[in-house]
Amino acid sequence: MIDYIKSPVLKLKNIRLLEKNQYTFDVDPKATKTEVKSWVEGFFGVKVTGMNSYRPPRKMKRMGPAIGYPVRYKRMIVTLRSGDSIPLF
């Protein structure tokens, strides 16, 4: 199950979401909301009240003469109940 969660996202927009008790993770494209919710609740011991997911648009990358696209991923925005927090942040 831990293979579904790739990493937390720490960008400017996501840092602003921390004030609203929302945390952002990069997850495997095959992961579902219920799988990620159960993993976050079990691992961190918090209560998840909402989840949003989206796939960022593809961007073309160039590596020498080769042109292609990087591996796709999905982002999940997890909203926690007030009073809960994730200690990694």
* Arithmetic mean of pLDDT, 18-43: 91
- Please tell me the predicted confidence (pLDDT) of residue 1: 59
| Token pair listed for 53 | 């997911």
**Residue 9 placed within a domain:** yes
Residue 17 predicted with pLDDT over 80 = yes
Residue 46 predicted with pLDDT over 90 = yes
Average pLDDT, the chain: 89
Range of the structural domain that residue 20 is part of: 5-56+72-80
**Residue 50 placed within a domain:** yes
**Residue 62 placed within a domain:** no
Residue 89 predicted with pLDDT over 80 = no
Instruction: State the CATH number of the domain containing residue 51.
Output: 3.30.70.330
- Please tell me the predicted confidence (pLDDT) of residue 3: 75
**Residue 64 placed within a domain:** no
Rounded CA separation 9/47 (Å): 20
Rounded CA separation 54/76 (Å): 7
CA distance readout (Å), 56 to 1, 43, 81: 23, 26, 26
Q: How many domains, in total, are found in the chain? A: 1
Q: What would the pLDDT profile of 50-85 be if each residue is shown by its tens digit?
A: 999 999 888 899 988 999 998 888 999 999 999 998
